[in-house]
């Protein structure tokens, strides 16, 4: 009992220290977020250009670090990587300590550890999906506005400043940050390459490549931007048509999945002895695990079938 109490005290102390550090780093980054424009593009801040040496160094550090950095950037997170890692670690320690202190169960502590570490990642994933949806929606009009500016005789920097003031968020924020870095004297190629990582859309990556080629060899940039805007608009119409056609199938999967949990919950509430008898049988847990695995496999299969690339 004394050993268990000592372990709980140590875990509670570690959780308190980790949370305090995470909150301090979070407050520091949020206060510094408004001054991000004046910060240089450098590896310490995670805003280095995608030069081949930088890409090779990041990939050699590990795919997990690469994916984590890409998740933060595409989600529009203001935190730097050490602060985000500290936040994940703090959530994991708290998620592990609370069940251990309250329930004194190692299995519950392990589940709390996974849940606590997953919550920040799920939140950033949700923010990334929301941000990408908004960018896809407003990308055609943004490219059209940029093409109009270049066609009117403005330079790329002036056209980008026009987009920063006229385009909807979050594209206006990205172009505003791009203009600020260009005014500080950074290379347009480096700024656009870095911007392409924060806006991982096919049309924008093609536009970034075209701008790089245009800076070196020249060409009709306004016509290319107009064609990319048309392509982005066609892709939006196609995906909208696919979502409308497959709406019944997607709602059927959601209904069957929720109906399964609702049926099990009602059975446990109305006839708990039936569920107890099933779980106490030697084949009960195996059948339950098989049913859960088939349910997950069916959801993944439908999701993969409805995921159309265009």
d(CA 58, CA 61): 5
Question: What is the C-alpha radius of gyration for the chain, rounded to an integer number of angstroms?
Answer: 25
pLDDT at 155: 79
Q: pTM above the 0.75 mark?
A: no
CA distance 99 to 103: 5
DSSP state of 37: G
Cα distance between residue 176 and residue 167, in whole Å: 10
φ, ψ dihedrals at 251, nearest 5°: -70, -30
Give the up-direction half-sphere exposure of residue 140: CA atoms within 13 A in the CB hemisphere.
Answer: 11
Task: State residue 123's pLDDT score.
Answer: 92
Do the beta carbons of residue 158 and residue 149 sit within 8 Å? yes
Q: Which residues of the chain have pLDDT under 50?
A: 1, 3, 34-55, 57-61
Q: Which of 217, 153, 212 is nearest to 188 (CA)?
A: 212
CA distances (Å), origin 241, targets 130, 238, 308:
20, 5, 11
Q: What is the Cα–Cα distance from 102 to 95, expressed in whole angstroms?
A: 11
Q: What residues contact 159, with CB distance under 8 A and at least 6 apart? A: 146, 149, 150
Digit-coded pLDDT (tens) for 115-162: 888 899 999 989 888 888 888 888 888 888 888 888 888 777 888 888
Q: 203 with 146: CB under 8 angstroms?
A: no
Which alpha helices (DSSP H) does the chain contain, by range? 2-33, 52-61, 63-74, 81-103, 106-151, 156-166, 171-183, 188-198, 202-217, 221-245, 247-270, 272-280, 284-306
For residue 48, what pLDDT is reported?
Answer: 38
Q: Cβ–Cβ contacts within 10 Å for residue 140, how many?
A: 20
What does the pLDDT read at residue 49? 40
Provide the residue count of the chain.
310
Distance CA 71, CA 256 (A): 31
Position 25 scores a pLDDT of 59
Q: How far apart are the first and last CA of the chain?
A: 61
CB 45 within 8 A of CB 78: no
Q: Structural domains in the chain?
A: 2-132 (no CATH), 133-234 (1.20.81.30), 246-306 (no CATH)
Half-sphere exposure of 177 (CA within 13 A, CB side): 23
d(Cα 16, Cα 14) in Å, to the nearest integer? 5
Q: Give Cα 72 distance to the centre of its chain.
A: 6
pLDDT of residue 1: 45
């Amino acid at each position: 009992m004394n050993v268990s109490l000592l372990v709980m005290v140590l875990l509670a102390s570690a959780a308190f220290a980790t949370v305090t550090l995470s909150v301090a780093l979070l407050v520091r980054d949020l206060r510094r977020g408004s001054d991000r424009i004046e910060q240089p593009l450098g590896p310490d801040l995670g805003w280095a250009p995608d030069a081949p040496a930088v890409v090779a160094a990041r990939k050699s550090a590990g795919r997990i670090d690469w994916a984590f950095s890409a998740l933060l950037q595409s989600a529009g997170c203001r935190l730097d990587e050490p602060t985000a890692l500290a936040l994940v670690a703090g959530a994991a320690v708290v998620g592990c300590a609370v069940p251990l202190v309250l329930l004194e169960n190692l299995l519950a502590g392990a589940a709390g550890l996974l849940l606590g570490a997953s919550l920040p990642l799920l939140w950033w994933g949700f923010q990334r999906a929301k941000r990408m949806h908004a960018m896809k929606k407003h990308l055609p009009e943004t490219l059209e506005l940029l093409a109009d500016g270049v066609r009117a005789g403005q330079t790329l920097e002036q056209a980008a400043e026009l987009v920063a003031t006229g385009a909807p968020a979050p594209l206006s924020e990205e172009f505003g940050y791009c203009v600020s870095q260009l005014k500080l004297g950074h290379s347009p190629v480096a700024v656009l390459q870095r911007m392409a990582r924060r806006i991982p859309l096919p049309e924008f990556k093609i536009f970034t490549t075209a701008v790089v080629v245009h800076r070196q060899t020249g060409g009709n940039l306004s016509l290319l931007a107009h064609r990319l805007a048309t392509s982005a608009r066609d892709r939006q119409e196609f995906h909208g048509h696919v979502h409308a056609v497959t709406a019944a199938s997607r709602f059927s999967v959601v209904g069957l999945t929720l109906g399964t949990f609702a049926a099990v919950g009602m059975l446990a509430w109305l006839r708990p002895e039936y569920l107890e008898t099933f779980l106490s049988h030697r084949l009960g847990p195996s059948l339950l695990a098989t049913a859960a695995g088939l349910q997950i496999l069916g959801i993944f299969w439908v999701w993969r079938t409805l995921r159309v690339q265009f």
